Chain A
Amino acid sequence: MKLLTHNLLSSHVRGVGPRGFPLRLEATEVRVIPVEFNPDFVARMIPKVEWAALLEAADHLHLAEVPKGPTQGYEQDETFLRKMHHVLLEVEVVEGTLQCPESGRVFPITRGIPNMLLNEEETET
């Protein structure tokens, strides 16, 4: 699971609503895989990123050099975009967990794939 994905996921446990975001990330196995740098795509993603959630997740993975927020004129700032590219797309959680901050419910990540399934009683109506 990439950090871009983590930034888009929220718990849908019944009753939590917007307090289900962000999920608390823990990892027991992480890998870094190179992905071709595409500055236009990265620049498009910047406005959609929730920075606090990203910084918290990056911190849990002990990542260094994570920008604290978008720089002025970031669309042309290659250094910034390359760092964001790395953080959002090249770091993958292979084994770990995502935890709902409100209910404590844990969703496992196995072979890089989160399992978000819940029982009927647990989900939103």
Chain B
Amino acid sequence: EIKSLLSLFGGQFTNNQETYGKIADGQRELIESYSVKKRHYIGNTSMDAGLSFIMANHGKIKKNDIVFDPFVGTGGLLIASAHFGAYVYGTDIDYNTIHGLGKASRKNQKWRGPDENIRANLRQYGLEKYYLDVLVSDASKPSWKKGTYFDAIITDPPYGIRESTRRTGSQKEIQKGIEKCPESHVPVSLNYHLSDMFFDLLNFAAETLTLGGRLVYWLPVYTPEYTEEMVPWHPCLKLISNCEQKLSSHTARRLITMEKVKNFENQDQYSHLLSDQFLPYQGHNSFREKYFSGITKRIAKEEKSSQE
């Protein structure tokens, strides 16, 4: 299992046992004991336990750090971070997920029970002392004060496939896919373009990470069109690694790790640079269409007939 994980990430697997916590020693037990199958609270897109530890490792998460996940879902990445002794924060736009309400993701279970929420997950592993708070919040409109206090931001943003990409909008901009959930308190949902989402994420990381702090996130790509230039960049963040995981024959996600190397000064200073740089990534707004379109099926069919 260790070998297959290593090949998955092209050998870019740091084994920094002393500083960053044990992951290579007895790794099989770690993955087994944190398996999502046994976890009290899961969602439709809960991160595989092994991958969540790899992400925490990439984030150089260590004891007494503060780690934040702005798309926290059911909290899998917080569990891995807490395992390494970090104190954790999470936010999500989905009220029901944060509160642990609504329909269950387990087969044969209709509704979520009272022990199903992020805090309960940490409690399950004896990590509740590392739970700081979770909030219902729109990652594109964060509520954090000005300052640098996150040692790492580790996250798996929605790709718009199995979970929708959303942000709050105004009454005027009503589009298809409106949520009518009085309890969930999201006034209106807009499609959140992927390129905007990564712009916001990198900017937020540049503003709130401590110097040397890391941002680790998954970037969905449509493989036939992917180039390295598409990986979002920011003047304050240095790209440390970029590892591919195939999802299907023509889609993949890339685990991006960045480190803050420069203090954030004035937002206006960067927006001009960033909008030009993001043009290559605009194509990713159609990641969702490409994923669902007949293109992938047609290509698969062509490949199959050429093999015969």
A residues with CB within 8 A of B:
1-2, 4-5, 7-12, 18, 21-22, 35-36, 38, 40-41, 44, 48, 50, 89, 110-121, 123-124
A5-B89, A9-B144, A44-B64 known, 5 other contacts, Cβ within 8 Å? A50-B145, A113-B134, A115-B137, A117-B93, A124-B141
B residues less than 8 Å from A113 (CB atoms): 98-99, 133-136
A114 to B129, CA, bound (A): 19
Scoring B residues 127 to 144 as 1 if CB is less than 8 Å from chain A, else 0, what string do you get?
001001111111001111
A36 to B98, CA, bound (A): 24
A50 to B149, CA, bound (A): 12
Judge whether B26 is part of the interface by a CB distance below 8 angstroms. no
The distance from the CB of A90 to the nearest CB of chain B, in whole angstroms, is 11
A11 to B187, CA, bound (A): 18
Contact of A117 among B89, B144, B147, B186 (CB under 8 A): B186
A48 to B150, CA, bound (A): 11
The distance from the CB of B306 to the nearest CB of chain A, in whole angstroms, is 50
Shortest Cβ distance from A21 into B: residue = B145
A119 to B99, CA, bound (A): 21
Shortest Cβ distance from B151 into A: residue = A44
A10 to B144, CA, bound (A): 5
A40 to B134, CA, bound (A): 23
Do B136 and A123 touch (CB < 8 A)?
no
Contact of B170 among A2, A114, A121 (CB under 8 A): A121
A22 to B147, CA, bound (A): 13
Do B132 and A2 touch (CB < 8 A)?
yes
